[in-house]
Amino acid sequence: MPNTSAKAGKHGFPRGKQGRPVSCYLCRLRKLRCSREHPCSNCNTRGIKCSLYGGDDDDSFPPSGSSAPSHASPVVEARNTDASLFSDILERLERLENVLSTQTALLQNSDPSHSPRHSREWQTNTSPVPTSLIQLPRQPTQHHLAGDVKRLEQVSTSHPSKSFTSLGSIVFRVRPPPPSTGPKTSEHTFHSSGGQNSDQLVFGIWLPCRSEAESLVEQYLNNVSYIHHIVHPPRVRNEVAKLYTDLESQCQPELGSAILFLSLLASVTYLLDTEDSDTELSPTVTEASEETLSWIRITLTVLNQLQSSSLCSLQSLQAIIITSFLVGNIEGIAQRFRTLIATALATARELGLHRIDHGEGTETTEPPAQDMVDVEVGRRVWWHLTATDWLLTRYSGPAAGVYTVHPNHMNVKKPQNIDDDDLHVDGLARNKAVSVPTAMSYFLQRIRLAEICRKAVDHASLWSANLRGANYSNIVFIDTELTVFSNALPWFFALDNEGSDRFFQLTSQQESTIKVQRYLINTTLHTQRCVLHLPYFARCRETCAYAYSRDVCLDAARSIVQAELLIERDMLPFTKVRLKLSASLYGLFVANIIFFLEASFHKVSEWPNGLRSTTKEAFRLLMEAKRSSSMAAKLCETLCHISEKNKVSLPILHAQNSPCDYTSTLATGALEDMNTSHGVAEGREQNQFSMNDWADSYSSCEGQDLFDPLAWAQSIGAFEEYQYL
């Protein structure tokens, strides 16, 4: 057999020890695995001419018949394989299209009241990303088909069904304007049948007249929205206007816009100050409370209908967040609140908000936002939920020490520090400095605080129930992070008076908004510091190693009271309703408990005048909160009971003629008005936390001059469920 310098490979490329490479030029350049056939699979896929040396000719390859007649067979076989794959993809595509069309027809026929508007909404909210909105590189036809098949397969894995819908259908009607005299009706719903030939139940909802609705929306945007700024005011106004236009035209409105409006009604009603209303038809405190609960129940009912029908939209997600805010303030961090937050996170992921900045080709059930308003509002919504998830890890309960949103599982930029007027469909204004007050200033500071809470959770067993197993150096480390955060707050959020002379630069609405947000961020921040050090403060009597915790607790408690006094001095509309927020109540609770522990360690007569004055203000605020909070009344009752039992002198302040006219007395003197045996017996049945809840904390104090504050302070976990962030 004659010797040759290069032998032919089994797929057509010549092999040789010296001269000839075994892979084509492209595979060597890109470091790809070459199939060693002519043309190779990599070059064939990319539409590039295959050659050994990158030239324009094919002289580097041997003739197809020089080595063996089998040289051409791999190419033909590969082409046949591509044709077979192409045919298979077409067959799968046709089969999936038939399934999808059948499914759509069944859904439309299952509900007689299914209007064309609903059909479009379902298709928008459950269809894959439109091809026109995705910028894909040019690829061979079979790769385009493979992408279409993949998206259709994603749709085919979801089968929304009307069978799980609890209500037949929801109908909205506009209530006529209320009469000038006479009582207002508080009934907001009605029920009827679907018609003579239908046994379907119709759930009807009465909405306020258009003028009243527009007024309520403005109240929300001016007095509530800055607490959780997750909406774009111009969009909200337009959606409410469109809602009423549809109702006036006898058209069924979009369910997402309707449920968002319902949540706004509940929110405004909850934070309504009935004392400042001059109209004769203004509701009393009891009526406002009942109306709030009524709107919340209606909103939750419609939300359940929305989830059953697999209709999800950004508006419905915003409604879930607003409703969870109300439920959290009414019930605390209970199961219903946690369920709403979990539902909101799941809905946000369905909408693709967790990867809104991921780029092209996102695999979500919602098309990407078509303008910058949707993008920026989506970021606000996602980061609000993320911050809430991280902040909840700091409080006792099932969610303690656990968060569900991991930074590595999201790709969302933080919202920009801009005002709503700077947000346009075609783009955003330039991001402003942190020192410039905007509508997003508080929102961004809340995110920073939440990141510290997440960092604290990541530090091992910091929140372990076993206090002695916690590493005190970790406590100091997290406190340092909180201190740095406090010192870095912009001038308009600082509690000192250094920036007070600069408020004249703001409009009246901006000034009131900033002052409320200053109160909220400082109350939340210093409550975190108190809770962080409170167990060690209770043990500082055992060892001086925890003296730092005592100093931090007293300083943070002073800051909480200072924030309360500032918002009280400003006399804003928010001032009278602030204690309806569980975050405000919780901060006031913790501050009073810290002062109580300090009184158990040191006689009040030995306190500095400043601390004594701050303590008096704290107890005055707590006693005033009794009028609007049963929990505040129970805490006052419990503090007085323990003070009397253990002979702890405590400055209790009670109002006589006005909120500012009060006198100082000892706890034993105030018990005659607050803690009669008859009143305590009745309170045990009506309040969630009875005296029995505290029995274990002070039962061992019988016969002692001073009770052990460690066990009592650990019962602070009972109050932690009443904090919402």
Mean pLDDT of 635-657: 66
pLDDT 10s digits, 321-343: 999 999 998 888 888 999 999 99
Closest CA to 549 of 559, 560, 558, 538: 538
Return the closest-CA partner of residue 242 out of 254, 233, 232.
Answer: 254
Q: Per-residue confidence at 360, pLDDT binned at 50, 70, 90?
A: very low
For residue range 489-506, what is the model confidence (pLDDT) as tens digits? Answer: 999 999 886 666 778 888
Residue 56's pLDDT is: 56
On the question of pLDDT at 689 being above 60, the answer is no
Q: What per-residue confidence (pLDDT) applies to 576?
A: 86
Which pLDDT value is given to residue 169?
77
Percent of the chain with pLDDT over 70: 63
Average pLDDT over residues 417-423: 89
pLDDT score of 223 more than 60: yes
Sign (positive or negative) of CA dihedral 44, 49, 52, 53: negative
Residue 554 has pLDDT above 70, yes or no: yes
Higher pLDDT, 522 or 203: 522
Q: Is 161 a residue whose pLDDT tops 80? A: no
User: Any idea which of 116-125, 202-211, 216-225 has the lowest mean pLDDT?
Assistant: 116-125
Instruction: List, in sequence order, the alpha helices (H) in 69-140.
Output: 73-110, 116-126
Condensed to tens digits (0 to 9), the pLDDT of residues 14-52 reads: 444 456 788 888 888 888 888 888 888 888 888 788 888
Tell me what pLDDT residue 150 has.
67
**What does each C-alpha distance from 32 to 48, 142, 219, 341 come to in angstroms?**
14, 22, 64, 47
The average pLDDT across 301-320 equals 84
pLDDT beyond 60 at 302: yes
Which residue in 109, 117, 112 sits closest to 250, CA to CA? 117
Contact 625, 582 (CB under 8 A): no
Contacts of 156 (CB under 8 A, 6+ apart): 96, 99, 100
Question: 381-390, 405-414, 589-598: which has the minimum mean pLDDT?
Answer: 589-598
pLDDT of 512 strictly over 60:
yes
pLDDT band at 160 (very low <50, low <70, confident <90, very high): low
> What b/e string do you get for 312-337 counting C-beta neighbours within 10 Å, with b at 16 or more?
bbbbbbbbbbbbbbbbbbbbbbeebb
Residue 527 confidence (pLDDT) above 50: yes
Whether 560 and 601 have beta carbons less than 8 Å apart is answered as no
Compare 663 and 379 and report the one with higher pLDDT: 379
Helix 441-458 with 472-487: angle, nearest 10 deg:
170
Omega within 30 of 0 (cis) for the link into 14: no
Give dist(CA 28, CA 682) in Å, integer. Answer: 86
pLDDT for the residue 114: 42
**Residue 519: is its pLDDT beyond 80?**
yes
pLDDT greater than 80 at residue 438: yes
Among 455-459, 584-588, 642-646, the minimum mean pLDDT is found in: 642-646
Give the chain's radius of gyration (CA, Å): 33
Average pLDDT over residues 215-244: 93
Which pTM does this prediction carry?
A: 0.69
Q: Are strands 14-15 and 7-8 parallel, antiparallel or unpaired?
A: antiparallel
Mean per-residue pLDDT of the chain = 73
pLDDT at 664 over 50: no
As a whole number, mean pLDDT of residues 684-700 equals: 33
pLDDT, average across residues 374-385: 95
Residue 515 has pLDDT above 80, yes or no: yes
Separation between Cα atoms, residue 457 and residue 619, nearest integer Å? 33
- Would you state the pLDDT for residue 386? 97
Average pLDDT over residues 441-469: 77
Q: How many Cα atoms occupy the beta-carbon half-sphere of 567 within 13 Å?
A: 26
pLDDT band with cut points at 50, 70 and 90 for residue 651: low
Comparing C-alpha atoms, which of 449, 526, 438, 436 is closest to residue 490?
436
Q: Is the pLDDT of residue 362 over 90?
A: no
Cα dihedral sign, 391-394-400-405: positive
Q: Which residue has the higher pLDDT, 356 or 46?
A: 356
pLDDT at 11 over 90: no
Structure-model confidence comparison of residues 600 and 476, the more confident one: 476
588 pLDDT above the threshold of 60: yes
Who has greater pLDDT, 295 or 119?
295
**Crossing angle for the helix pair 372-391 and 335-350, to the nearest 10 degrees:** 150
pLDDT of 539: 80
Is residue 318's pLDDT more than 90? yes
Percent of the chain with pLDDT over 90: 28
In whole angstroms, give the CA distance from residue 263 to residue 271.
13
Quick check: 709 pLDDT over 90? no
CB-based contact 723:337 (threshold 8 Å) = no
Residue 542 in this model has a pLDDT that exceeds 80: no
* Cβ-based neighbours of 118, under 8 Å, separated by 6 or more: 111, 252
Q: Is the pLDDT of residue 564 over 90?
A: yes
What amino acid occupies position 206?
A: W
What would the mean pLDDT of 576-590 be, rounded to a whole number?
88
pLDDT winner (highest mean) among 45-54, 180-189, 640-649, 676-685: 45-54
Angle ∠(93,98,101) on CA atoms, nearest 5 = 120
More confident residue, 585 or 642: 585
Rounded Cα distance, 204 and 252, in Å: 12
SS3 labels along 359-387:
CCCCCCCCCCCCCHHHHHHHHHHHHHHHH
Q: Among 102-111, 212-221, 378-387, which stretch is predicted with the lowest mean pLDDT?
A: 102-111
